[in-house]
Amino acid sequence: MRRIIITALLSALFVFNGIADEGMWLPMLVGKNIKEMQRMGFKLTADDIYSVNQSSLKDAIVQFGGGCTAELISAEGLLITNHHCGFSQIQAHSSVDHDYLTNGFWAMSRQEELPNPGLTVRFLVRMEDVTALVLTGVTPEMKESDRQSKLSDNIRELSKKVEAEGVGYKAVVRPMYYGNEYYLFLYEEFSDVRLVGAPPVSIGKFGGDTDNWVWPRHTGDFSMFRIYADKDNKPAPYSASNVPYKPKKHLPISMKGIQEDDFTLVYGFPGRTQQFITSHAVEMLINQSNPHKINLRNTRLSIFNHYSEANDTIRIQYASKHARVANAWKKWIGETIGLRRLDAVAKKRELENMFTAWASKSPELQNKYGDLMPTFKRLYNELTPLSLIVDYRNEAVYAVELVDFASRFDRVIAEAVKPNRDNEAFEIAKNKLVTYARRFYKDFNINVDVEVFAAMLKAYHEQIPAGYQPEFLGNLHQSCQGNWLQLAGEFYSQSVFADSVRVFTLLNDLDSTSARHFQADNIYGVYAQFENQYIDKVESRYYQISDSLNILYRTYVGGLMRMQADKRFFPDANSTMRFTYGRVGGFEPKDGVVYSHYTTLDGIIEKSTQANVPDYVPPVKLIDLYQKKDFGQYAVNGTVPVAFIGTNHTTGGNSGSPVIDANGNLIGVNFDRCWESTMSDVMFDPNYCRNIALDIRYALFVIDKFAGAGHLLNEMSIVR
């Protein structure tokens, strides 16, 4: 049984309309943008941004852990990224005795830097347009399944060839414009990445959920890591003999600060945008998908908060989980508000009407594009109820940690009960599961999960039509007479998965008999019955519709590019390297409210005076530095700058991205968007869309004056 991540709201494309702040541009095509950037004040050349023949800005930027960005700030492999990007590593090293979340962590020597198994960073070696190679042998007459099979074969062959070029090379081929074009991204991946420094959460997450996605912001959202390599400066597994990596390029740091209207370049790995989904998809997003997911996550967060506030061990165990759940929860709230404010559905329909009118201008256009909009409508009408079930599968069923954990036993159970099993494959699968189980139980609390289990089953029973519920759920509802919590407690008291000792004992001597202990477990049964119901009644049709929509979008986007031939198009974000440019600038989010473009340490102290707001409690030492005005070289007008906003088009994955000035210096670390901007994944509005960045001077102040780790500054190139 396989788990599927929702992709109902497919990736899309946006059309450049003359507003420089819009767009997530491919670095190899920077030549199309460079003159405009230079008119805005940028002092560098296209080759300074991206080159395969000389060092360039791309060589100082890495994809961090697969979901964030980081940048080199020294010739000794020192990285800076967001605190929330390094949060899971900081949390993994933390305990009640060594609470690096609360107290921060600073390695005062290379020997004190902490390894992070599983953490990788990737440098982009090069990218290239491989459309012709990927589409070799593909014809218009092909069935879609045959087309996809041929594409996969071509991509596999191409990736294998280029990965052989170097140690640690990883090739990724990504479709652009819904498969109208394909690009190869060749990466060099390093796996020895060590934690160097992180401020306490009272700095790194100052404002917490209260301020998440909100401006004005006062969060010192940064952490520091170091890349290690072998003696030849090549990727190597962790070893005490590895040495700090020597990068081709690292970013100089500017102490000159920022002014309103200054040019800004954000360079990183934005995750996913949906700029050209149709009106039907937007309706489903704001009227169904977001509201339900928000409610489910709100319930989970309430349970997390209840236990975390009363128990420090649980607080540490669930800190990273809470952050992950809360981040998307608040984003979806803001996104829904923003799309409604922009009347996004009506704007999408206007574009679709323009497209339909254009397609009617000739028989050739009508034949190719005339049926697109009616077909979109029909497919989304059918997809919408199925999408609700998929949302609840991911946000309710698999939100229960023990159910999710039980689902991971499928492969081992299947191998164990085979009469003639592949012992090598079995041992590999079992060892992977044992490793995962150790991490799982370290941060698992049964009381928390029992409440989540009860709440999620109740929500599924109340919100999903009876025809799409597993039979056992209705029976449980009748038997528990509405007391889902009592029922959950009984389930967990009888489950082997709730007892780590029993799980490891059974795994240690796993055979067909002990495998059936797992298979017969009631928690595994919950997983299996939900999954069987999904497979029987949802999966096949859901993915048939999704595949059909992919084909429609490929045709639609190709048609838009024909219809608007004078426009500059950029492909949607898809976790590949992009740059976006704009300016430092405030905005007016609503009538009578004007936001400045920067914040200072004064604001931290002001917020700290608000009673009963636990997110606004800075460290005593920071308050002491403020009261003594002990700001050192970081003082600006009697305080310290903390954060600023700009007009750059960013999204998830841009967390940790460098904000670079007109001269190529690091001035900030991107960490968020304003709440009014969260709809920018679907529709960009230059009046509201602002990215939030940590002012690099605040990071230096914290490292130097607060943490006493000024030795780290000695290896940086600081421009004064």
Catalytic residues: 84, 221, 655
Rounded (10°) angle between helices 372-392 and 446-463: 140
Phi, psi for residue 405 in degrees, rounded to 5: -60, -45
Residue type, 698: Y
Residue 556 neighbours by CB under 8 Å, 6+ apart: 178, 276, 278, 355, 369, 372, 376
3-state secondary structure of 553: helix
Helices (H) and strands (E) in the chain, counts: 28, 24
Which ranges of 670-718 does DSSP label H, i.e. alpha helix? 696-701
**692 strand-pairing partners:** 645, 672
Nearest Cα to Cα of residue 297 among 366, 208, 394, 388: 394
3-state secondary structure of 369: helix
Nearest Cα to Cα of residue 57 among 658, 582, 581: 658
656: tokens are 């940790």
3-state secondary structure of 718: strand
* Angle value at C-alpha 699, between 649 and 665, nearest 5 degrees: 55
Burial of 475: CB neighbours in 10 Å, binned 0-12, 13-18, 19+: exposed
3-state secondary structure of 70: strand
DSSP-derived letter for residue 587 is E
Omega into 686 within 30° of 0, i.e. cis?
Answer: no
CA–CA dist 531, 652 (Å, integer): 29
C-alpha neighbours within 13 Å on the C-beta side of residue 61: 33
Nearest Cα to Cα of residue 685 among 13, 8, 17, 12: 17
- Strand-pair category, 578-583 with 587-590: unpaired
CA–CA dist 77, 60 (Å, integer): 10
